[in-house]
Amino acid sequence: MRLFTIRVLAAFGLTACGAAAPATTHLSAAADAPVLLDPPVEATPPAFEAPHGLAGPTLVRDATIMTAAGQVWPRGWIRLEAGRIASLGEGDAPAPREGERVVEGQGRWVTPGLIDTHSHLGVYASPGVWAHADGNEMTSPITAGVRAEEGFWPQDPGLERAVAGGVTTLHILPGSGNLMGGRGVTLKLHPALEAAAMRFPGAKDSLKMACGENPKRVYGRDKGAMPMSRMGSLYMMRSKWLEARRYKLKWDQWRKKPYEEKDGRRVPTNPPERDLVLETMAQVLAGEVLPQIHCYRADEMLLQLKLAREMGYQVRSFHHAIEAYKIRDVLAREGVSVSTWADWWGFKIEAWDAVEQSVALIHEAGARAIVHTDSAEGIQRMNQEAAKALASGRALGLALSEDDALRWITVNAAWALGIEGETGTLERGKMADVVVWDAHPLSVYARAEKVFIDGHLRLDRGAPRPAPRSDFEVTR
């Protein structure tokens, strides 16, 4: 009952975004802020209280610790406590405490939990039938107001399979049929009955945008509507961003003067009319929502960077980005990350000019390289995808370390989602998102043996398998 009450209060007690005042339940001329009967949506809604509580302490000792922060300790230890990394080090581990779980790490490797910046799990859930297709609202080229969180099915069996691959955090995106497909959400892979309970605390939403063949095909070819061309795509994006700038200006002006003086009293003034599409875009302009852009060709990425400069926002990551290696110096200079595959290519014309060394070349140029999956199957072996990218780069003669490759699926991905201060490396004080592997994590033979999320043991291959959470995983 307490949890239900908290969730109800959280659902109806959201404060307004930015500098807007919180909603109240009564009128008062002396109040500190005006009443908003229809308050703007928060850029980052508060996470609901998850039903898992705090985890008990765990000590992993005598393992090879790969921190993804530059250190690799052949004989290291790490202590997890109250959902955080309490301490870690090299050499002899501290004595276990009373009641502490002890994991003997001989012959084991320990890494941060893996992070996928581009997933459609839950919005294109398994089994892949029309009834589960909730990732694309392809009824208008610009649907920035819709939310992937509200099409997400927490019982997708792919989520458990992702955890079995060492994944602890996902960014769930709408699909790429639209120029602006909607808001993405970052989730932690705790079992839950609703996406809100899985939200990564404090993580910003994203705006998923797309350029190139997909919007052209969906609207121009299939529906005979705009955009039919790349120039039409940029025209529609630019026009909508101009609307969003005007919308933001109206709200900024109202927030500066939400009252007027009338007969010696402060009287609330009416705020501008809300528009959920423009609201999301205005939050991008304010830096409260992070732009994640599906874009393959180098020239189109440059056009998107030009548009971002023109309109006043910062691209956080280009996704798929097959030709990013051609402009890697520009991406490094602009501070834009690249979320791409190790070796996917050739499935459409804009995906043709790929090289297997792309991730390594992007990294070598000083840009943030990220290996993502965009796949319910590929997410089960993200470690192998990073290993392939590492091998391709080394074959080219680039000086790359195993720590570099690990960062492509941990802390670089965390940066793209704005959560690098909380997860992505093994450092004291960070969230206890930790994987214990039974072999070197970049080996094709490695399996995640234990997966901790906020210190909770969410996968343990040494224990009897619990009942699956999804009916579609029940075998007998």
Tens digit of each residue's pLDDT (9 = 90 or more) over 117-148: 999 999 999 999 999 999 999 999 999 999 99
Residue whose entry in the numeric block shows the structure tokens 């304010």: 286
Q: Is the pLDDT of residue 83 over 80?
A: yes
Sheet harboring 337-340: ordered strands across?
114-119, 167-172, 180-188, 206-210, 290-295, 317-320, 337-340, 369-371
Q: How far apart are CA 58 and CA 77, in angstroms?
A: 11
Q: What is the pLDDT of residues 266-296, one digit of tens each?
A: 888 999 999 999 999 999 999 999 999 999 9
Q: How far apart are CA 175 and CA 146, in angstroms?
A: 12
- In this structure, what token pair is assigned to residue 87? 């301490």
pLDDT for 473 equals 78
Kindly indicate the confidence band of residue 37, based on its pLDDT and cuts at 50, 70 and 90.
Answer: low
Q: Give pTM, 2 decimals.
A: 0.90
Does 464 map to a domain?
A: no
Does 85 map to a domain?
A: no
Domain count, the chain: 1
pLDDT for 2 equals 38
Does 444 map to a domain?
A: no
Q: Is the pLDDT of residue 28 over 60?
A: no
Kindly indicate the confidence band of residue 474, based on its pLDDT and cuts at 50, 70 and 90.
Answer: confident
Does 177 map to a domain?
A: yes
Are β-strands 337-340 and 114-119 bridged in parallel, bridged antiparallel, or unpaired?
unpaired
Does 46 map to a domain?
A: no
pLDDT for 175 equals 93
Does 194 map to a domain?
A: yes
Answer whether 291's CB lies under 8 Å from 284's CB. Answer: yes
Nearest to 189 by CA among 438, 387, 423: 423
Q: What is the pLDDT of residues 2-14, one digit of tens each?
A: 333 333 333 333 3
pLDDT for 466 equals 78
Does 241 map to a domain?
A: yes
| Average pLDDT along the chain | 91
Q: How far apart are CA 253 and CA 350, in angstroms?
A: 43
- In this structure, what token pair is assigned to residue 255? 């927030």
Are β-strands 317-320 and 290-295 bridged in parallel, bridged antiparallel, or unpaired?
parallel
Q: What is the pLDDT of residues 220-235, one digit of tens each?
A: 999 999 999 999 999 9
Does 280 map to a domain?
A: yes
pLDDT for 438 equals 97
Answer whether 363's CB lies under 8 Å from 338's CB. Answer: no
- The alpha carbon of 383 is separated from its chain's Cα centroid by a whole number of angstroms, namely 18
**How many other C-beta atoms can be found within 10 angstroms of the C-beta atom of residue 428?**
12
> What's the helix, strand, coil split of the chain in %, to 5?
30, 20, 45
Say if residue 127 is preceded by a cis peptide, omega within 30 of 0.
Answer: yes
pLDDT for 206 equals 98
Q: What is the pLDDT of residues 228-261, one digit of tens each?
A: 999 999 999 999 999 999 999 999 999 999 988 8
Q: Is the pLDDT of residue 155 over 70?
A: yes
Query: Which domain covers residue 243, as residue numbers?
Result: 113-424
Give the CATH number, domain containing residue 321.
Answer: 3.20.20.140
Q: What is the pLDDT of residues 174-204, one digit of tens each?
A: 999 999 999 999 999 999 999 999 999 999 9
Q: How far apart are CA 223 and CA 258, in angstroms?
A: 44
End-to-end CA distance of the chain: 34
